[in-house]
Structure 1
Amino acid sequence: MTGTTAETSTANHAAPAQAEHSFGIDIGGSGIKGAEVDLANGEFVGERLKIATPEKSTPEAVATIVAQIVAEKNWEGPVGITLPSVVKDQKVLSAANIDKSWIGVDAQELFAQYLDQPFVVLNDADAAGLAEVAYGDAVARTGSVIFLTLGTGIGSAFLLDGKLFPNTELGHMMVGDAEAEHQASSAVKEREGLKYKEWVKRLDRVLEEYEKLFNPHAFIIGGGISRKWEKWGDKLTTSTPVAPAQLRNRAGIVGAAMAAQQGLKP
């Protein structure tokens, strides 16, 4: 049975789409979360609503829950939706932690069957990167920024003056004889029992390779391990400024809402 975490007041009237408000939905392997966002400050308007991702997370099953969240939150304006997938020309090209039947799906055709309002669909790391650049550490506000989310793998977003270059997938870049995410993700640290000092050396190598290719103005590091920044952040030796993510689990929803407001369709 699908679980629901509802934290909002149960108003029966529809919420009007305000000029500086938007709505984001973040689809993950365990939960689908949505909230109205005040784009003036990147904060939720009220609480988010979370519904468990169906065990069989097919496009139709997930889209049904997306529509349920929009309906339960009484939202009438544009909606941004993130997927743990490469999304190119609104077509889903990969599927991480969701059913493989997503691959090849036209996201616009799919969600148009379930939503009455305009919507956009984008990669979850891209959405988080948008949010962090807009509302996170000031070091990332201008210039080129690489946002990395360290978890099971390494997700990435590349932004220039706040504008997104989508679907970079830098975690799959070869660093030496292995992909970056096979060397420096937080899952690798746990799996191999690495101490922070050992793991940071690997992360440094990955960041140095990104530096050589892109020369970014800053790196922003997200994912659960960024919450323990004080244990390892000062061990990094890369010459490019590195800052921890600030929005944490809000980033995907906030970035999705930003994409909806901008009409961004990678």
Structure 2
Amino acid sequence: MIEATDIHVTLGSRRVLNRLAFQAHPGQLTAIVGPNGSGKTTLIRALTGEIGFAGELRINGIDPSGLKPWDLARMRGVLAQSTQLSFPFTVFEVVRLGAEAGGYVGQAATAMTRAALARVDLEGYEGRPYQELSGGEQQRVQLARVLCQVWQADGPEGPRWLFLDEPVSALDIGHQLQVMRLARDYARQGGGVVAVMHDLNLTAMFADRIVLMEAGEVAAAGPVAQVLRPDILSRVYGCRLSVMSAATEPKLLVVPVTEAPA
């Protein structure tokens, strides 16, 4: 599992995360949600070692700061909000970098690269320059790269992890569902997924557990129905929200309440 305790992050003179505790379990998709500026991306950047922090972090019982870069790369893959490349790589070359980071070479890396592109609906894009793709296509290329890096959800070192920072922000609804299904399936195979999400209804549909953040702290954490409550959400988001139950997915639906005119 991932267990972080007493996490503090200060950027400049501002405390962004304050005495934060966080847990995520293999076999589950843990969604981090909250209003803008609540610290969601800062938390995932701290968990993945992109920024420094005070506190204690364990992934599969190990302090990741003591791991070699190649060992850490095989334990967890990280999808950032956006990735800019300075060199004219093709789509195939970008995704193959993930396979090589995961320890695959030769024909195995080639086959994995093609399989990952098929999983994100980018078959036939192998030779296209990365810079010429749309933002949503680039996001799916990067997801394919990360999937290659931790292709097997459960390895000799234990469960592997996907960290996804707003993985569907640039995607149309069809590809949003496709990406979330991929993330959920990865968790069902024994891996762990930690995803920063904005869409509360997609979160309700796919997450096993939610961490709701407010001003650098955890406002609520637990199963979906425990966190997606109108009283909690309305207070944290600063607007009236209603949560309705449904017989089909999503079983909970979050909708804004429009004030009646005076």
TM-score for both structures, normalised by structure 1: 0.28
User: Bigger relative contact order, structure 1 or 2, given CA contacts below 8 A and separation 6+?
Assistant: 2
Q: Give me the TM-score of the superposition, normalised by structure 2.
A: 0.28
